[in-house]
Structure 1
Amino acid sequence: MINYWMIMFLFMLSFQVRGQHKPLVPEVAIEYRVNDTLEIQVNLIQDQKTAAYYYHAFLATDICNDKVCLPIQVDLFWNLMGEYDHFSVPQGQVFTKFDHQYFDQTDYDLLQDILRDTLSPIRDYAVEEFLDKKEQKYSIELDAITRPTLKVFSNVTVPGALYTVYALWHIVNGNIKQLIRNKLDVVYKQYQFADFFATSNSASYQEYYLEKLAGDQIVAAEPVLVRLLFSNDEYIPHYAWRKLGASYYADSDKYNDLLIELEKLKPHLQLVVLKSLSRPNLRTKEILTDKLHNKSLSQNQKELIYKLLNYEK
């Protein structure tokens, strides 16, 4: 059994220590009303270690309706699109589950996965519907009886922490996403986030960057667009290729460097690239002739290369 005074110490500490993240200046803040009794402030911050930007909220609350776990203290983070990203537990704090047992790393990892699952059954059920009305579980700490989670729902929560998981899921996946998204256009311009979005590994950031890229910015953005051709996403490379446009496709001095790395592109994009190019120069022919020795080339790729080599475009 956990020492009583240790419990009281942790309880008091959770309401004294605040999050260690400073908002940007000028401040971008969102008042997020979760329900009739809980409202939190969500601030735009920059992580000092990674230089990444997030929306952040510090939450300290008694989250378990049946009192079998202690109040929690947690830092919550969303990306600039309003999608939940991650949580962190401030130093010196712990999450607890049934009978005040501490979370271990497996519990924290499982909680992270659950919170990121926007299609979780948690979305559609009241918390009471997860409880097994036929079974009882005795709490030593409370000297009382509580209800366990139904076995059919055991994979959608951290064992012994249903109320914590349920409440946090609804906080991080609530209407905060729309509130953040509503600010995106203004914040994107105000903080000149174009480079941050373009160089991010997030497909949603990359897509937003491409969407906002105006026609008169294309030439200056060509190096970024070429880099996005190698994105791991299925859609982004095609979107970036369309943005490059005919002036790029017809300038062999520009596209020759891309041809050298042709095999690194997704197979379906390789065909799109070879179909689009025109006006090959001598260097182009040298690169393509060398490519013909690659045994992994498909028949369609070989035919397109032969057309380029013979100026049949």
Structure 2
Amino acid sequence: MIRIWLTYLILIACGIQCEAQSWNDLRKDGKPIFTFTVNDTLDFPVYVVELPVENTKYYAAKLQTNVCNDQVCLPIEVNLFWDLLGNYHHFSKEDKFNFTKFDHQYFDENDYKRLNQILLDSLSPLRDYAVDDLLDKQAKKFSFEIDAVTRPTSPLFSNVTVPGALYTVYTLWHLVNGPIKQKLNEYTSQVYAERNWQNYFASSQVPSYQEYFLKHLSPAEIVRFKEKIIALLFAEDDFIPHYAIDVLQSNVFQDPTEYNPIIERLDHLKPHVITEILNTLSGYNQQTKAILGRFKDSPKASVKQKEIIEKSINYEEQ
């Protein structure tokens, strides 16, 4: 559910970002991280950038290219953004530039939102077809701008494109969801510790960043970032707290002096997280028993959790 809402918020935000995020306003590293080449015909530098208001980091590229092979739409100028794991995030354009579709008609606001939604779908049917396979071989459309005939999109694929802008959508989708994703992810793996991105990932509200942080901790970093890990027990995402428990299980949850401050806040955790923590604790001291006793008598404790506490205390007293 959290991931669905995050996607929804991204789509809403695109109404602002797609229109207003100028390349010149971004804080960029002095040098690109690499120059990416597409089919030996297009290359562009990729930068680590930061949004000046949000202090949010992305990989980004400014792209200027032709997207049509039939001259019925104009060249495109677009700023493309990926998250730090290589997943496409959003695009923006300069205020005075407009995307065009068939016969040089401008995109409207809904077209921009639809384009962003399509680009976010990394499993789109666009992945499996050549662009010519998406055209209606029977129908034809006449362009008054260039005095020529072109083929419209097949009705079978009308739901995965912006009407009148198939080449633009297809080109951008394959660019943002193609091999560049893996190259960006590999770059993150190489520089993650060097750039000290652990704090950024751990403090982010993005579940995929939190998960990456928890799954790429060395033994020394588990000690160094212990408080960050503990904080993720209280994350909004349903899965992240369980990854945090896995990290803390062999050290923090074996020592009551370490875990007692955590279980003092059991009532702030989600029920499924509470249950797993109760099943993980060992080595109770008197303070532990007192804390768990109070929680057991509280309305927050479920029947199952009360049973776990009673059995655990009885076992510790044997």
TM-score by length of 2: 0.83
Q: CA separation in 2, counterparts of 1:295 and 1:301? A: 11
Q: Which amino acid aligns with 1:221?
A: F
What's the counterpart of residue 133 of structure 1? 137
Q: CA separation in 1, counterparts of 2:268 and 2:302? A: 15
What's the counterpart of residue 150 of structure 1? 154
1:213 matches 2:222: no
Report the secondary structure of 1:118's partner residue: coil
What's the counterpart of residue 226 of structure 2? 222
What's the counterpart of residue 249 of structure 2? 245
Q: CA separation in 2, counterparts of 1:254 and 1:62? A: 59
Q: Which amino acid aligns with 1:132?
A: D
Change (3 A) 1:298 1:32: same
Report the secondary structure of 2:234's partner residue: coil
Q: Which of the numbers 57, 64, 69 marks the counterpart of 1:65? A: 69
1:36 matches 2:44: no
Q: Which of the numbers 80, 84, 97 marks the counterpart of 1:76? A: 80
Which residues of structure 2 form unaligned runs of 5+?
A: 1-21
Mean alpha-carbon deviation: is it higher for 192-201 or for 253-262?
Answer: 253-262
Shift of the alpha carbon at 1:170? 0.7
Shift of the alpha carbon at 1:28? 4.1
Mean alpha-carbon deviation: is it higher for 99-108 or for 228-237?
Answer: 228-237
Change (3 A) 1:102 1:264: farther
1:171 matches 2:175: yes
Shift of the alpha carbon at 1:276? 1.5
Shift of the alpha carbon at 1:254? 3.5
Higher helix content, 1 or 2: 2
Report the secondary structure of 1:190's partner residue: coil
Q: CA separation in 2, counterparts of 1:278 and 1:187? A: 37
The 8 Å contact of residues 68 and 99 in structure 1, kept in 2 or not, is answered as: yes
Q: CA separation in 1, counterparts of 2:33 and 2:251? A: 43
Report the secondary structure of 1:229's partner residue: helix
What's the counterpart of residue 4 of structure 1? none
Mean alpha-carbon deviation: is it higher for 229-238 or for 280-289?
Answer: 280-289
1:23 matches 2:67: no
* Aligned length in residues: 295
Q: Which amino acid aligns with 1:190?
A: E
Shift of the alpha carbon at 1:49? 2.1
Report the secondary structure of 1:218's partner residue: helix
Give me the CA root mean square deviation. Answer: 2.4
Q: Which of the numbers 308, 313, 316 marks the counterpart of 1:312? A: 316
The 8 Å contact of residues 34 and 174 in structure 1, kept in 2 or not, is answered as: no
What's the counterpart of residue 104 of structure 1? 108
1:49 matches 2:53: yes
Shift of the alpha carbon at 1:279? 4.1
Q: CA separation in 1, counterparts of 2:269 and 2:71? A: 54
Mean alpha-carbon deviation: is it higher for 159-168 or for 247-256?
Answer: 247-256
Shift of the alpha carbon at 1:198? 1.1
Percent identity of paired positions between Structure 1 and Structure 2: 46
